[in-house]
Structure formats: C-alpha cells, structure tokens
Amino acid sequence: MIQHLCLINFKQELDTETQQKVIDAYNKLPALIPGIKSFKCGMDLQLLEGNYHFGIVAEFDSQEAFQAYSVHPAQAEVIFPVVGELMAGYTTAQFAL
C-alpha cells in the first residue's frame, strides 16, 4: 500500500467560493483515475503559522497505481484549470504502509 501526501501553497488567501472550487476539483479525481483506494483533501485549518494552505492524502494499492495517478490526464484537464494559476508551490511524499 502506498500513501501519498501533497501539500499546496497558494499565491494569496482564497475566498470561500474559490476554496470550494479547489476542493470540488480534487474530489473528482477518484471517479476519473483508476487505482485510487482512498482520497481525502481539504483546506488547512490555520492552527499553526507557516502551514501549507491545502492538503491531500491518498492511498494506492501499488507503486504502479500511484505512478498512473501522477501522470493521468485528469491532473491537467481537471486540476490545472482550477488550481494552476492559484498555486505558489507544492511538496509531496510517498511512503509504504
């Protein structure tokens, strides 16, 4: 089992409507990309200064399933149009469970 973490920073604070558009876009991925075993995402609760603004936690049965997710066209077709111009940067990590 592969656990994938992604943390995203935005260029500026997002209003509530834009935050929901980002969440909705990411939540489309499990229906579009085979191999996602579980998927959760959300805006940071701002409990600590310096946190990233948005987080994703996803699980995959195998390295191959994760690799397919990472290059799937839905990343460009669904995510980039909503998040691309907003994103300042991101970081990821994958580890075995």
Structurally, the chain folds into a number of domains equal to 1
Output the domain CATH number for residue 64. Answer: 3.30.70.100
Tens digits of per-residue pLDDT, 11-48? Answer: 999 999 999 999 999 999 999 999 999 999 999 999 99
Q: Does residue 70 carry a pLDDT above 90?
A: yes
pLDDT number for residue 51 = 97
pLDDT number for residue 6 = 98
Q: Does residue 56 carry a pLDDT above 90?
A: yes
Q: Does residue 97 carry a pLDDT above 90?
A: no
Contact present, 63 and 2 (Cβ < 8 Å):
yes
pLDDT number for residue 11 = 98
Q: How far apart are CA 20 and CA 26, in angstroms?
A: 10
Domain around 16: 2-96
* Average pLDDT value for the chain: 97
Contact present, 39 and 24 (Cβ < 8 Å):
no
pLDDT number for residue 42 = 98
Contact present, 96 and 46 (Cβ < 8 Å):
no
In the chain, pLDDT over 90 holds for what percent of residues?
99
